[in-house]
Structure 1
Amino acid sequence: MNPKLLFWVPALLRLGLLFALAGMVWWWLGPVAGLSLALAAVVTAVIVQLSYLQKLGEWLEDPGTRLPDGWGTWTDAFARLYRMRRDDTKHQAELTEWLARFRQAMHLLPEGVAIMDDVLFLEWCNPALERHLGLTMERDKGLRVTNLVRHPDFIDYIILGRYEQPLTLAFRGRKIECRIIPFENRRQILVTHDATDTERIEAMRRDFIANASHELRTPLTVIVGFLEIAMADPGLDVAIRTAHLNLMTEQAQRMQRLIQDMLTLSRLESDEFPLKRERVDVKSLVESIAVEARALSGGRHHIEVAVDGPDVMGSMEELRSAFANLASNAVRYSPDGGTIRLAWSRGADALSFAVTDCGIGIDPEHIPRLTERFYRVDKSRSRETQGTGLGLAIVKHVLLRHGGKLTITSQPGKGSTFAATLPNTSLPA
């Protein structure tokens, strides 16, 4: 049935019943009594309606209070209002929940986001944008963004309105990428991205390619040069030819070591080669590395070994590569007659393989960069020692894969200690 009919039928029935009662009184007691009863009934009905209207008005002034009870048609009206309020409360709770989720998501975003009006007054921003541009939401809300970010390029970008391409700012020692996005009719969104790490990684990639090309070009130049000499003079003296062949072999082996280290480093950084843990007999591993170090030293150094720690769970191949790189570096950079100590020990918080030498030492400004690819403190000395420049980078990535780290302490002229530490969680079960 039509809802409108459902609303009017009870009212009409009550009105008909009232007139029927008044007619009966008219018939029994006369017209005066009937009219008096009808008038009293109408006045009573009007008073009742006005009282419910007053209650409705009071409730509309303060919807948080309880809805009044109704009678007749008002029962249905108040029931509908109660359902509307209940649905509205439910929708309000849902909107509040979604707003809280939205704000939480905005707070967790690594990108900076700000909402501005059409004249660039700040309405809202997330913590990432505060970090990128040095703003504070509580302090700067309602202020013009161009007054807060006083950078000529940023102001020109805003004024010119050429938002097709992002703007990159050198701001507060960081590279910040900014973009304006029109939003609704009278609002704009400012999005910022910290591109400092991206720029740094890109610079490292360029440096890696340049350094790798240089490292490969040098031995190739030697080999090609000797080959050209051999081809130009077939009757070259046997002794000279032998010397050339020895140098070519040496340079080819250098290239082979470099390529092998580059492939090892690439594999360590790749997600396609997950770490395969096995029980590593560290005592045997350290002793075998000491044997290799003594062979590399050729008796020029005194190499000590101290093992006072348990076995670990890890990759035997990777740990051998890391530990051997530290030992071979100590041999290459220690003067003849010096002492090199290889020590495996267990501390309170970690396990450690430490290589201590009495070499030339390292100035403090170089230590943070030693694990960078191809970084050399003394390039001329690195050529003499036949290093590839990738050994410590390999050590760093091996330890990262095992949850460890490399710690370097050094005093110029007195020697250095390179400690590869692993967490106690590496212990076998």
Structure 2
Amino acid sequence: MAPVETTYPNKETLGQRLAGARWILAMAVGGLAGAVLAEELAPVPAVIIGLAILIGATLPVPRRPMVVRQNARGGEPSPVRLGVEERLTALVRALPEAALLLDPRGTVLVANARATGIAASVRVGDPASFAVRVPEVLEAIRASTSDGMPRRIEFAERVPIDRWLRADIVPIRSGDGREGKATEAVLVSFVDLTQQRRVEQMRVDFIANASHELRTPLASLSGFIETLQGPAKNDVAARERFLKIMGEQARRMSRLIDDLLSLSRIELNAHLMPEAEVDLGAVVGHVSDTLSPLGRERGVEIAVLNQAGRVSVRGDRDELIRLFENLVENAMKYGGSGGRVEISITREGGDVLVGVRDFGPGIAPEHVPRLTERFYRVDTAHSREQGGTGLGLAIVKHIVARHRGRLGIDSTPGEGATFSVRLAGEFHTDEKSDMGTAA
């Protein structure tokens, strides 16, 4: 049986009548003051003011009607002022989390805008099972409606994307919420835990990978030290060979620690964009000059092609040098078989685009999206042979993000790979770059 609504006339209280009296009194006092100022009114007996107060006290004060909802099961009617539903709807819609307000039967009464990004389909008047298709959450809603106890459920969704959510279910009761009162509504709010879970997983993976990366060289050093202290104590040739390997392992650990510290410093200042003006051509020239001897050792030519002239960007010079050094070193390590690495500087609108291209074997498409993950390697054994720590491109990604730029990766197997960095630049067209081709 649907609730019956009955409208009753107002029963005015003394306070309400006094409110009307105050209104009449204010008008009377205002009129008297105006008359005295105009010197057109003789002294007025006090009885006139008293009469005005008496009339105001007897006048009805307009008020909004009251609505009484008759309980379908009988019992005392509960008066509810009009407008409560509107205020409750506005409150649910203003919640910072996705939220649904359900009636005791599980029908959606109110859904805020954020709920549309969480629930599959949200429409007022539909059952909650249409909006939330998780059996554990639906069972928790039924249980909370029945016993009046709040509940919290964490669950995962795999479609359309992987994400983790938490549902907070709070039953709403009238009065003081004591036991025995029937549940009138249920508020279900959702909190997206996806970012938190991903950060936790990244932390776990980071610790596991860092421990693994350090364990291998430490194990090698410990083994060689024991050998040199024991069987190879007097073996000069073995000692020289072992010391060389120990030096390589020590340098590997040193590079790993340096990369970890660099990554931490960059992340610490990720929200602060550098303000200094840096000559980008000079930075690229410095990188080319620094790495050219290494290129000659590996049989790789480094060519700089500047088509943008002199261009400056807002940035941190040391970080930009580290960025392009990592890209060029990677190109020589993994694409050096092509014999050439090109660094191009071009202008695209108001941006400057710096590309580092190699002519090696290229990268398979399935690896490209994960290249900037920490410790991710396409070929782990080859990377370690080349002295890589697995953090180079992660550092590149964070430096580009701090400079509010964009990193692009384009590769075709068998045709090499191109890593490009787009930054906002200031171009000086009246000056010519003195950079040519470095070998």
TM-score for both structures, normalised by structure 2: 0.71
Deviation at 1:292, TM superposition (A): 2.3
TM-superposition CA deviations, 1:221-269 (whole Å, max 9, x none): 1111101111223633112101111111111111111111111111111
Matched, 1:290 2:291: no
Counterpart of 1:225 (choices 223, 226, 250) is: 223
AA aligned to 2:407 is L
Bigger relative contact order (CA 8 A; separation at least 6): 2
Deviation at 1:400, TM superposition (A): 0.7
Matched, 1:134 2:123: no
AA aligned to 1:366 is H
In 1: Cα distance, 2:384 partner to 2:393 partner: 16
**Structure 2 unaligned spans of 5+:** 1-14, 22-50, 65-80, 175-183, 429-439
In 2: Cα distance, 1:100 partner to 1:382 partner: 59
In 1: Cα distance, 2:89 partner to 2:154 partner: 31
Name the structure 2 match of 1:422. Answer: 423
Name the structure 1 match of 2:375. Answer: 374
Whose strand fraction is larger, Structure 1's or Structure 2's? Answer: 2
TM-score for both structures, normalised by structure 1: 0.73
Deviation at 1:279, TM superposition (A): 2.1
- Number of aligned positions between the proteins: 348
Deviation at 1:99, TM superposition (A): 7.7
Spell out the pairing of 1:88-99 with structure 2 (5 A cutoff). none
Distance 1:79 1:119, change over 3 A: same
Spell out the pairing of 1:270-419 with structure 2 (5 A cutoff). 270-271=268-269, 274-299=272-297, 300-307=299-306, 308-309=308-309, 310-336=311-337, 338-419=339-420
AA aligned to 2:300 is H
* Structure 1 outlier segments of 4+, above 6 Å: 71-75, 77-80, 94-101
Distance 1:115 1:312, change over 3 A: same
Matched, 1:170 2:171: no
CA contact (8 A) 2:301 2:339 kept: yes
CA contact (8 A) 1:376 1:382 kept: yes
In 2: Cα distance, 1:358 partner to 1:385 partner: 18
AA aligned to 1:168 is F
CA contact (8 A) 2:314 2:403 kept: no
RMSD: 3.3
In 2: Cα distance, 1:154 partner to 1:402 partner: 43
Whose helix fraction is larger, Structure 1's or Structure 2's? Answer: 1
Matched, 1:118 2:119: no
In 1: Cα distance, 2:114 partner to 2:129 partner: 18
**Structure 1 unaligned spans of 5+:** 8-70, 86-91
CA contact (8 A) 2:137 2:153 kept: no
Structure of greater Rg: 1
In 2: Cα distance, 1:123 partner to 1:425 partner: 56
AA aligned to 1:142 is G
In 2: Cα distance, 1:96 partner to 1:144 partner: 19
CA contact (8 A) 2:407 2:420 kept: yes
In 2: Cα distance, 1:321 partner to 1:339 partner: 20
TM-superposition CA deviations, 1:287-337 (whole Å, max 9, x none): 111122222223401110122341222100111111111011011112345
In 1: Cα distance, 2:326 partner to 2:387 partner: 13
Name the structure 1 match of 2:70. Answer: none
